[in-house]
Amino acid sequence: MHDKNASPVPPAPPLFTWEFAADPYPAYAWLREHAPVHRTALPSGVEAWLVTRYADARQALADQRLSKNPVHHSESAHGKGKVGIPGERSANLMTHLLNIDPPDHTRLRRLVSKAFTPRRVAEFAPRVQELTDQLIDGFAGRGEADLIHEFAFPLPIYAICDMLGVPREDQDDFRDWAGMMIRHGGGPRGGVARSVKRMRGYLTELIHRKREALQGEGDEDLISGLIRASDHGEHLTEDEAAAMAFILLFAGFETTVNLIGNGTYALLRNPEQRERLQRALAEGDEGLLATGVEELLRYDGPVELATWRFATRDLTIGGQRIAEGDPVLVVLAAADRDPERFAGPDALDLSRRDNQHLGYGHGIHYCLGAPLARLEGQTALATLLRRLPDLRLAADPEDLRWRGGLIMRGLRTLPVAFTPEG
Ligand code: HEM
């Protein structure tokens, strides 16, 4: 806490610069201490409140007076296209989980939960292992690789395409569209909007084809599950199913890329923790892998800021008055380093126990894909460390570039070297 008798408050650090993207944590420490609910202009020009303390963040995430629906944004008339997924408005993708409130959210989430079950994810584990090994096969003999492009990026896109039931021969199109979205996430929107439109068009048609072909039980990919899911006689419409498939792809793709990328990077930068994990894996102990992936999410999680929320009435967060219509961004990365909640928050401790981090959000929008993300993260990191035991960074950390997007936090490239396999 700030002591009034101590030296004067240091000046506010700049936000959203390149230096900030490389290491936002000192700026977040300043905000938590001196301006825990802070109004700022975002790079897009939109003004929003940043919530950085753990207790406030957790409360805001569960506060139903904060709506997910951009119609509640006071600037929504002229702020069009400035919030949310690029291109989603033009592609009519508005009715997905991250943009709606109860009761619509409750109904859609219940329906998708019937299809996207922990059991379906568990049954998918062998396929994730197979995909992981195939991708590592692609570079293991070479002794060097860019782990973002060759590993972290393709794994989640192939995994979710497989799970949805996108035929293998079409999956490289998704890889290209997703590549366009991730490369230009914070930049020019034209190409991104086109990619979103193509994906949406493809998914709509695929859903239509699968609905026509559905006969009885059996055909058990996730899209068929979405079409079949019913609750008190209610089903998803084709439009809703397409929006749902799209949000599963969109929400589950760059996040998981960054879990694998940021996670591997954190392990390479913390050799004693990485050796601990390697020893545990060699002894067949998977416990440290499970707590370790949670800790990596807390320490440098993929989602820096939770997605948009808008005050539906005047309200107070952490003693700060927020006016109706104001956007609120909960800074998960700042909350998860709050010393009021986590002991030694800036240290990576793979065996951390009391670790209720907010990396997957909290409340009714808590990440639906967390079981799949955990499966992919754990499989990817364990397999990398087992197969390439002397994996090391092949670049100066100062030279690594972080993506400058608003919501996500992740590396553009992660050059590594290792003894070639076999
Ligand atoms: C929601 C994080 C992977 C699907 C969320 C939220 C967070 C998050 C923070 C809440 C956003 C908010 O409240 O504004 C992550 C992280 C992941 C990950 C860190 C990877 C490490 C996935 C995967 C999928 C997925 C693999 C699906 C395949 C979703 C969906 C929602 C969501 C559908 C919206 C839920 C709702 O609004 O009810 N995720 N996610 N996520 N996530 Fe994830």
Q: Give the Å distance between the CA of 253 and the centre of ligand 1.
A: 10
As beta bridge partners, residue 195 has none
Domains of the chain by residue range: 18-393
Average pLDDT for 234-248: 87
CB 163, CB 264: distance < 8 Å: no
As beta bridge partners, residue 316 has 321
Q: Give the Å distance between the CA of 396 and the centre of ligand 1.
A: 31
- For the CA of 364, the closest atom of ligand 1 is 38
State the Cα–Cα distance between residues 351 and 278, nearest whole angstrom.
Answer: 13
In this predicted model, what pLDDT tens digit does every residue of 70-86 receive, in sequence order?
889 987 644 444 555 55
- CATH architecture for residues 18-393: Orthogonal Bundle (1.10)
In the structure, what pLDDT confidence band is assigned to residue 222 with cuts at 50, 70 and 90? very high
pLDDT of 298 higher than 90: yes
CB 49, CB 326: distance < 8 Å: yes
Average pLDDT of every residue of the chain: 90
Q: Give the Å distance between the CA of 156 and the centre of ligand 1.
A: 13
Which residue would you say has higher pLDDT here, 143 or 237? 143
| pTM of the full structure | 0.93
Supply the pLDDT for residue 399: 94
In this predicted model, what pLDDT tens digit does every residue of 323-333 receive, in sequence order?
999 999 999 99
pLDDT of 240 higher than 70: yes
- For the CA of 372, the closest atom of ligand 1 is 26
Q: With a 6 A CB cut-off, is 373 part of the ligand 1 pocket?
A: yes
CB 381, CB 293: distance < 8 Å: yes
State the Cα–Cα distance between residues 51 and 58, nearest whole angstrom.
Answer: 10
Q: With a 6 A CB cut-off, is 249 part of the ligand 1 pocket?
A: no
Q: Compute CA distances 10 → 7, 30, 96, 98, 411, whole Å.
A: 8, 9, 42, 37, 29
3-state SS, residue 16:
coil
In this predicted model, what pLDDT tens digit does every residue of 112-166 receive, in sequence order?
999 999 999 999 999 999 999 999 999 999 999 999 999 999 999 999 999 999 9
Torsion of CA 74, 76, 78, 84, to 10 degrees: 130
